Amino acid sequence: MVKAEKHTAVVIVGAGVAGLTVGNFLRRNGIDCIILERRERAYVEARQRAGTLDTRGVRLFRQWGLAEVLDAGPTAEVQGDFFIDGQAMPIEIEEDDNESIFIPQQVLVRRLADIFLREGGEICYEAEVALMDIAGSNPAVRYRDSSGATVLIRCDYVAGCDGDHGITRASIPAGALTRYSYEFKYSWLSVLAAVPGTTSGMAIHTRGLAGLIPRGAEHSRIYLQCPVEDTVAQWPDERVWDELEARVGRSLGRGDILSKEIVELRSVVHDPMRHGRVYLLGDAAHIVPPMSAKGIHLALFDAETFARAVIAQVQDGDPGPLDAYSETCLQHVWNYQAFATWITDLMHNAGDASYEGEFRKQVARAELRRQFESEAANRVFSELTSGIA
């Protein structure tokens, strides 16, 4: 039985990066919204994922008056390196060109939630959400809160910011969206280790790709390319460190390993990113492989495009940007999928010849060396060595 009924302009499903960014952008422009999140607040704000915000993301938060989210707190000076067969490659760029910052994703999420709540916004955590009437002009979202009470919210728009496994996209009728996907032929073992984040490096080696990326002052994430059929049980801690050192070509400070998981590398796009008044944002609409470190970038692009479109509709009565939302975002998404696919295959083919053969390995190495001679590519590699998942 429904205990309460409300109305708001936008129901935002999911309190991750996309949902909280949209919520803040809308409220700052006087547009009413409510955020519904499936998990507890403590869980969402401790979930470890990305560790950097790229230059565009930094500039976006400044532009919308949210510069306070960028204060990453005390971070160590980070040394960035790129190795091919243990040999360091030169990466030199003008500092002004790269404003990306180290900021753990969970810190960004916590800051965005703090601001949203401080300014009077409403987030319901532990909400069990169901979407209703999504094809019509008056959609509704019903949810059960942690006390078991059921609430119905009538709204003008639903923003599906609930990730790849969320309820929003799953509520859209089968056949309304087309799913495009590509599975890479290798996976990553992703490891969180208690070693200070002072070194950031990517290594290309015949044994496979390796990465060591800071996650705050106390932790680092290690990535090791592995076969798709590998399991965590095949990677005891000693093997992780031995393999990382072999691929980087030097000994490193070892520390406790806190978690390990196998991450499948894949690219996914759902088209269109809209059904009636339900809009898909971030991972709910697309996934990029972690090699590109662009998942947050895409979530923020969608959040800004959607917020601007709702503002244009509500404040100026202009439906154009909302009508164009899916097309605008998809153009951007496919550009980044092109980059993500290129960089992912390039970096893996340049080391491990077992997937595409020795000829493709030599081609990938020639391409990489050529990239290192270009200023634009240096910027890409500089952001990559600081930015990978």
Q: Return residues touching ligand RFL (CB under 6 A).
A: 13-19, 36-39, 44, 49-51, 105, 129, 161-163, 166-167, 190, 263, 282-283, 290, 293-297, 299, 387-389
Measured from the CB of residue 184, what is the shortest distance to ligand RFL in angstroms?
A: 14
Strand partners, 223: 190, 211
Which residue, 25 or 361, has its beta carbon nearer to ligand RFL? 25
In the complex, least distance from residue 38 CB atom to ligand RFL, rounded to whole angstroms:
4
Distance CA 169, CA 165 (A): 8
Q: Considering the complex, state which of residue 84 and residue 189 has its C-beta at the smaller distance from ligand RFL.
A: 189
DSSP string for residues in 278-299: EEE-GGGTEE--GGG--HHHHH
58's tokens: 């930094």
- Smallest separation, CB 95 to ligand RFL (Å): 21
CB of 36 to ligand RFL, least distance (A): 5
Residues near 333 by Cβ (< 8 Å), separated by ≥ 6? 269, 285, 286, 298
Given the complex with ligand RFL, which of 133 and 261 has the nearer CB atom? 261
Minimum CB distance to ligand RFL smaller for 161 or for 368:
161
Nearest distance from residue 44's CB to ligand RFL, in Å? 5
Residue 328 CB contacts under 8 Å (≥ 6 apart), including other chains? 305, 321
Residue closer to ligand RFL by CB (options 14, 208) is 14
Q: What is the DSSP letter of 138?
A: S
Q: To the nearest whole angstrom, how small is the minimum distance from the Cβ of residue 162 to ligand RFL?
A: 4
Query: What is the C-alpha to C-alpha distance for residues 292 and 192, in angstroms, rounded to an integer?
Result: 19
Q: At what angle do helices 55-63 and 295-316 cross, to 10 degrees?
A: 30
Q: Min. distance of Cβ 361 from ligand RFL in angstroms?
A: 26
Instruction: For ligand RFL, give the closer residue by CB, 265 or 361.
Output: 265
Q: Name the token pair of 354.
A: 């077992």
Minimum separation from the CB atom of position 45 to ligand RFL (A): 10
Sorted by sequence, the CB contacts under 8 Å of residue 302 that are 6+ apart come out as 18, 273, 280, 281, 282, 285, 329
Per-position DSSP letters for 189-256, written without gaps between them: EEEEE-S-TTEEEEEE-TT--EEEEEETTTEEEEEEEEETT--GGG--HHHHHHHHHHHHTS------
Q: Which is nearer to ligand RFL, 18 or 273 (CB)?
A: 18
| Helix or strand (DSSP H, E) at 275 | strand 274-275
Residues contacting 183, CB < 8 A, separation 6+: 264, 265, 266
Q: Which of 372, 311, 260, 343 is nearest to 25 (CA)?
A: 311
- Give the per-residue SS3 of 34-81: EEECCCCHHHHCCCCCCCEECHHHHHHHHHCCCHHHHCCCCCCCCEEE
**Which CB, 24 or 105, lies closer to ligand RFL?**
105
CB of 85 to ligand RFL, least distance (A): 25
Q: Cβ closer to ligand RFL: 50 or 361?
A: 50
Pick from 285, 235, 36: nearest CA to 140: 36
Q: Which is nearer to ligand RFL, 293 or 361 (CB)?
A: 293
Q: Does residue 116 contact residue 98 with C-beta atoms inside 8 Å?
A: no
The count of other CB atoms within 10 Å of the CB of residue 26 is 25
Q: How far is the CB of 43 from ligand RFL (least distance, A)?
A: 8
